[in-house]
Amino acid sequence: SNKNTEPQSSDRLRILHLGFEDFRKPGSGGGAVRTHEINKRLAARHDITVLTSRYPGAVDRVEDGVRYVHIGRSWGYFCSILTYFAAVPFVALTRKADLIVEDFAAPFSSCLAPLWTRRRVIAMVQWLNAREKSTQYHVPFWIIEKIGLRVHKDFIAVSNDLSEQITAGNPKAKVHV
């Protein structure tokens, strides 16, 4: 086959995307749709697995070439996210991957992937709102976000404003908008 149109098996990256929300989950947001749209395009050349939070009726599946694996418990929205964050390092370490993409997600923002894996990690940031969630829930989530900004090296941001917020938290960060 033509290498320009079809990758050879050795060219395929195994990408593990830590995307906390499945776009099929009722009430999911635009970030979950963004994640799916990007990954379905990457799936033409790479092997993509998304670790996502469990919800009632969730089914592990392959859709548009993207494998979805649901982790944690479906005990309501907040508990689902908390159990996802608790489980993700343990599940991720059992998966073969050349690259990990971590979506920053409320309420913590980061699951601090660079601290528990030696694999390359890229942080995908749609928002930084841990301070808002800290106020809402009276829990200092902002501390995890602050550490997350410092331990990641490579970021993808959805806006220039967000890029500036990231570099304010980590002047050494490499940010692509």
How do residues 74-110 score in pLDDT, each as one tens digit? 988 888 988 999 999 999 999 999 999 999 988 889 9
Neighbours of 66 (CB within 10 A): 23
Neighbours of 29 (CB within 10 A): 11
Residue among 31, 28, 69, 30 nearest 52 (CA): 69
- Band the pLDDT of 123: cuts 50, 70, 90: very high
How do residues 33-82 score in pLDDT, each as one tens digit? 999 999 999 999 999 999 999 999 999 999 999 999 999 999 888 889 88
Helix ranges restricted to H, 93-159? 113-116, 130-137, 142-151
Residue 164 has phi, psi (to 5 degrees) of: -65, -40
Q: What is the pLDDT of residue 160?
A: 97
Q: Which residues contact 72 (CB under 8 A, 6 or more apart)?
A: 53, 54, 80, 81, 82, 83, 84, 85, 86, 87
